[in-house]
Structure 1
């Protein structure tokens, strides 16, 4: 009798261990990995928001989601990161909205100079009907937008002269994003626009391949452009926004609870916290740029009108291109 019981008990033990192993394997398979790619440094509001998002999502999901952050363009530039999300190679990217013109030119609407009265007018439009319509365009290519963040008011730096009015830009080779709107903008202003990936800008400035670039103060400081640029002019020509993009199929395959955690984390940190931090960072950073030796100048109201006048034909061109209905959404 005992001889019969022992093999039976051994069978039960082996079966239990086997079931435990496969259950553990199944639990491991359920863990979802979110790889986040962005192009800026760890010193930025974007990266701090990503870290807060990581901590929140991993804790609130009970460890069922593993968030991995890849800053500094480790996984590619904005365009490459966005394409990777569309393909499902990575799960999340945080690019400038300018590169989304690759999917539909109408995204260039957001980068038209002086199109928003201030940063908050842009938030209102993007949190409303304008943002919803743009998000629907992204969904058609397999990308879900978790919300719009802020990239600061774009200003111009260069090594030739201070920019006080459009005439000062004549002949200056200015790096611009790979966007038709930015190329057009600097042509209208009389500069020589040079499209270039963000990851190449520091070296381009250092080696003199380009004379200048245009980004918000916080990003200029975090990217150390002040080390290779002499003049910084507070033109504030574009209120620049960024999108928090996730692969739609990946999101749909999360459980309902996991989706709620991701949406909540994105709203709390990638959008709300990032916006507030970015605004504060840009206010504080102008003084830091001066301290490091940059010559910073503001634009007089009269000269600001000159910039706006020079760019009126550009507004008319794109109003005809995109249609009045899109322009109306900017004001809602």
Structure 2
């Protein structure tokens, strides 16, 4: 193929990929009156521009700027330019940053209830996820996080974590025996993989690809989009769609900044965060399905667990629930489980 034709083909592929992402919904709601002052919101996110989180943040930006008639400007900073999740949250508390959308996992020391999102197989379907975040449980957890210099105004989706490894297909806990699985430095995640018979190995994400390539660890677990974007499939031929842990993002605003906003703009941010939440989850799930298929097409062998196989994992992991129930809050766990019935 000639260079010019190749360039046109690549442009066409890019356009097709972009069109596969759900379009942003129309902005609803009228203009919101302020107090005559202009405001700027710097938003820090940890993921890249190609992901669902950034796309959702772009929709938030459009809503806020449109409905404030330009009096509230939103500036997006992707790829942890302003610091990782904990650093960004600390900046909110000190008033040097206005907004961030961290994963809940790094916030467990601040809000122990958030450890509920690290429990295995607690969110069996996205329907249960939506019932939690769009209902009373999600509202209660936002109230928990609206403290310590923070105002929590909404949820969005990081997604389900999946297992990959370099040794063999995994369809039962017995297949994990002795495998070295990289985990985050998270006590529940360590407990999960140890209980399943694997050898959990905490390691920074920055070191992970090289560790997989050199065989320092045999496997890892992350959402499909991270597996693809980090090229783990190049050194991990086997994957299992475990959906073992579901992780959300939470939308946080600096309390110091919040208190300076007129009431109308405060409500605008809440409304925009809710609209962003619904759209971002749609984008996340669309990308998830597309990327899983792309990984298959690229040669990755993906095992899809049957309900019976999932039940075997759940039974094996019952001690994890027993261990963490009192620390997280048994009623919270029971309330979420009830939605699965």
TM-score of the superposed pair, with normalisation by structure 2: 0.81
- Asked if 1:178 corresponds to 2:185, the answer is yes
Q: Please point out which of 307, 310, 314 is paired with 2:313.
A: 307
Name the structure where helix makes up a greater proportion of residues: 1
Equivalent residue, structure 1, for 2:300: 294
- Asked if 1:238 corresponds to 2:248, the answer is no
Equivalent residue, structure 2, for 1:124: 131
The answer to whether the 8 Å contact 2:46/2:78 transfers is yes
CA 1:101/1:301 → structure 2, altered by over 3 Å: closer, same or farther? same
TM-score of the superposed pair, with normalisation by structure 1: 0.83
- Asked if 1:97 corresponds to 2:66, the answer is no
Give distance in 2, aligned partners of 1:203 and 1:85.
Answer: 34
The answer to whether the 8 Å contact 2:115/2:328 transfers is no
The answer to whether the 8 Å contact 2:112/2:327 transfers is no
Give distance in 2, aligned partners of 1:289 and 1:106.
Answer: 34
C-alpha deviations, 1:7-56, integer Å up to 9, x for none? xxxxxxxxxxxxxxxxxxxxxx9432222222222111111111122222
Larger radius of gyration: 1
Q: For structure 1, list consecutive stretches of 5 or more residues without a partner in the other structure.
A: 1-28
Give distance in 1, aligned partners of 2:233 and 2:68.
Answer: 41
RMSD (CA atoms)? 2.3
Q: For structure 2, list consecutive stretches of 5 or more residues without a partner in the other structure.
A: 1-35
The answer to whether the 8 Å contact 1:118/1:239 transfers is no
CA 1:52/1:201 → structure 2, altered by over 3 Å: closer, same or farther? farther
The answer to whether the 8 Å contact 1:119/1:239 transfers is no
- Asked if 1:316 corresponds to 2:322, the answer is yes
- Asked if 1:225 corresponds to 2:225, the answer is no
Match of 1:187, SS? Answer: helix
Give distance in 2, aligned partners of 1:289 and 1:150.
Answer: 21
Match of 2:242, SS? Answer: strand
Q: CA shift at 1:315, angstroms?
A: 1.2
